[in-house]
Amino acid sequence: MTPYLIRNVSVVGAAPTDLLIRDGVVAETGSGLTAPDAGVIDGTGLVALPGLVDLHTHLREPGREDAETVESGSRAAALGGYTAVCAMANTSPVADTAGVVEQVWRLGREAGLVDVQPIGAVTVGLAGERLAELGAMADSAARVRIFSDDGHCVADPKLMRRALEYVKAFDGIIAQHAEEPRLTEGAQMHEGEVSTRLGLTGWPAVAEEAIIARDVLLAEHVGSRLHVCHVSTAGSVEVLRQAKARGVRVTAEVTPHHLLLTDAKAETYDPVYKVNPPLRTDTDIAALRAALAEGVIDIVATDHAPHAVEDKECEWAYARPGMLGLETALSIALDVLGPEWDLIAERMSRTPARIAGLDSHGVDPAPGVPANLTLVDPAARRVIEPADLASRSRNTPYARMTLPGRIVATFLRGEPTVLDGKAVK
């Protein structure tokens, strides 16, 4: 294993230092380090962050390998500065058995670009009718701790209660896609002025807020851990703020796109902007940004959702919802939060690692710590070209936008996965 000496790099925004990476860990820090056998990276002007951790990634394998594979998604993740991603369960077949989660976990190990931590389905086939074998997935080689029917809401309150209770046995967590299904039948975009003008069926904010309100009460009642996926409305922020003030064990994520883009994007009828939950309004964006800075929202998660060209190059109503996120998330965070490195590390690495129970991730580079880290050039600006992305899909909503920041290198347990801004394998 080649050692690496990173010279003159700012660790999470601190004064520049050298970092020596050897045998999978950060061996030494300090100025003027020497290591004749090491590859040298000039870190001048760069910021080292603990490797990013994504709690919400769709890798599409098994089932839609034309849109993404574990390998291509892992490469996209590494290029985005990630060292671990949690793979959502809505594959085909659904990741609702030990067999499927172990398959995804093994594919992640084989790709070797990030740690792929499978998420298990809460219910069999995501059908919302009966619990999947959560214990079997927890005991499998994949050691599943997060369970989610993401893409579908666990809408039945009794089933949600039971799921929250059941996973306590192995310190599991239920990650809810909060969407009251009866209020969102046929929904195409945020319900508001723009949907009224465009004649597209609205997805009202209350459909998210009502489920979050119910779920925090359920979690409080049974004393379980709840995680709320992709929070998108100002009203949801208020529900979470009150729940957290009462001490409910709830965490929440926001996606980069919900921090930046509004429903006005739908005016083009280009389904690259179709996503679930939908893009909301400026008021929601302001509330989400404030909540993220404050900690009411704990983390940024990408909801990276690759889709084949034919599933997006069509009528809005017929398109599948979702957008790419792994290769642009840090840039959006920089754009939205500014160079607040400690905050970025907290929201994109330390806290998601803690929620997912990934102990070797989310730890700031320091002597003896596993060398899971990424180097960011904050001064760089880049134009997003869909064709240049490592994902198999092209459905980025940031096409031709100029975004700040570039990932220069990423290390997974001391091995470079990205060098000079390029994937090493």
Partner 1 sequence: MIRHLLSGADPDLATATQILDTAAEMATVAGREVKKLPALRGRTVVNLFYEDSTRTRISFEAAAKRLSADVINFSAKGSSVTKGESLKDTALTLQAMGADAVVVRHPASGAPHRLANWVDGSVVNAGDGTHEHPTQALLDAYTMRSRLGRLAGLHVAIVGDVLHSRVARSNVLLLSTLGAKVTLVGPPTLIPMDISAALAPGTAVSYDLDAVLPDVDVVMMLRVQRERMNDSYFPSAREYSRRFGLDGPRMRRLPEHAIVMHPGPMNRGMEITPEVADSPRSTIVEQVANGVSVRMAVLYLLLGGNNL
Which of positions 42-101 make contact with partner 1 (CB under 8 A)?
A: none
How many Cα atoms occupy the beta-carbon half-sphere of 247 within 13 Å?
A: 3
User: How big, in percent rounded to 5, are the helix, strand and coil portions of the chain?
Assistant: 35, 25, 40
Binding-site residue numbers for Zn(2+) are: 56, 58, 150, 177, 230, 303
The H or E element that residue 165 is part of is helix 157-166
| Residue placing its CB nearer to partner 1 in the complex, 310 or 342 | 310
Residue 282 binds to partner 1 (criterion: CB under 8 A): no
Pick the piece of the chain touching partner 1 (CB under 8 A) from 93-101, 192-200, 206-214, 243-251. Answer: 192-200
Pick the piece of the chain touching partner 1 (CB under 8 A) from 20-28, 84-92, 156-164, 185-193. Answer: 185-193
Q: What is the CA radius of gyration of the chain?
A: 21
Residue 316 binds to partner 1 (criterion: CB under 8 A): yes
Least separation in angstroms between residue 278's CB and partner 1 is 14
Residue 181 binds to partner 1 (criterion: CB under 8 A): no
Residue from 137, 138, 173, 194 binding partner 1 (CB under 8 A): 194
CB 287 within 8 A of CB 239: no
Which of positions 161-180 make contact with partner 1 (CB under 8 A)?
A: none
Pick the piece of the chain touching partner 1 (CB under 8 A) from 18-26, 66-74, 267-275, 404-412. Answer: 267-275
Binding-site residue numbers are: 56, 58-60, 90, 150, 177, 230, 276, 303, 307, 321-322
Angle at 234 between CA 255 and CA 292, to 5 degrees: 45
> What is the rounded distance in angstroms from the CA atom of residue 216 to the CA atom of residue 418?
40
> What is the rounded distance in angstroms from the CA atom of residue 82 to the CA atom of residue 74?
9
| Residue placing its CB nearer to partner 1 in the complex, 31 or 318 | 318
CB 5 within 8 A of CB 18: yes
Chain-centre distance for alpha carbon 380: 23
Helices (H), ranges, 295-399: 329-337, 341-345, 351-356
> What is the rounded distance in angstroms from the CA atom of residue 371 to the CA atom of residue 354?
17
Start-to-end C-alpha separation, the chain: 15
Residue 192 binds to partner 1 (criterion: CB under 8 A): yes
Which residues, in sequence order, are bridge partners of residue 30?
A: 18
Residue from 32, 36, 158, 199 binding partner 1 (CB under 8 A): 199
Residue from 2, 157, 269, 422 binding partner 1 (CB under 8 A): 269
Catalytic pick from 215, 303, 335, 377? 303
| Residue placing its CB nearer to partner 1 in the complex, 168 or 197 | 197
CB 231 within 8 A of CB 254: yes
Residue 110 binds to partner 1 (criterion: CB under 8 A): no
Query: Total residues contacting partner 1 (rule CB under 8 A)?
Result: 20
CB 26 within 8 A of CB 5: no
| Residue placing its CB nearer to partner 1 in the complex, 192 or 325 | 192
| Residue placing its CB nearer to partner 1 in the complex, 2 or 318 | 318
Question: What does each C-alpha distance from 353 to 7, 225, 246, 356 come to in angstroms?
Answer: 27, 15, 24, 5
Residue from 169, 290, 317, 366 binding partner 1 (CB under 8 A): 317
Binding-site residue numbers for substrate are: 58-60, 90, 276, 307, 321-322
Chain-centre distance for alpha carbon 393: 17
Residue 310 binds to partner 1 (criterion: CB under 8 A): yes
Question: What does each C-alpha distance from 76 to 35, 72, 253, 407, 424 come to in angstroms?
Answer: 31, 6, 20, 11, 12
CB 119 within 8 A of CB 89: yes
Is 303 a residue of the active site? Answer: yes
Residue 283 binds to partner 1 (criterion: CB under 8 A): no
Residue 425 binds to partner 1 (criterion: CB under 8 A): no
| Residue placing its CB nearer to partner 1 in the complex, 8 or 201 | 201
Residue 31 binds to partner 1 (criterion: CB under 8 A): no
| Residue placing its CB nearer to partner 1 in the complex, 199 or 247 | 199
Residue from 2, 31, 92, 268 binding partner 1 (CB under 8 A): 268
Pick the piece of the chain touching partner 1 (CB under 8 A) from 68-76, 221-229, 313-321, 363-371. Answer: 313-321
Least separation in angstroms between residue 282's CB and partner 1 is 14
Torsion from C-alpha of 100, 304, 216, 288, nearest 10 degrees: 170
Altogether, the residues listed in the chain come to a count of: 425
Residue 8 binds to partner 1 (criterion: CB under 8 A): no
Angle at 275 between CA 274 and CA 281, to 5 degrees: 85
Which one-letter DSSP state was computed for residue 272? G
Residue from 2, 44, 92, 196 binding partner 1 (CB under 8 A): 196
Residues at the interface with partner 1 (CB under 8 A): 188, 192-194, 196-201, 268-270, 310, 313-318
Q: Give the residue numbers marked as catalytic.
A: 303
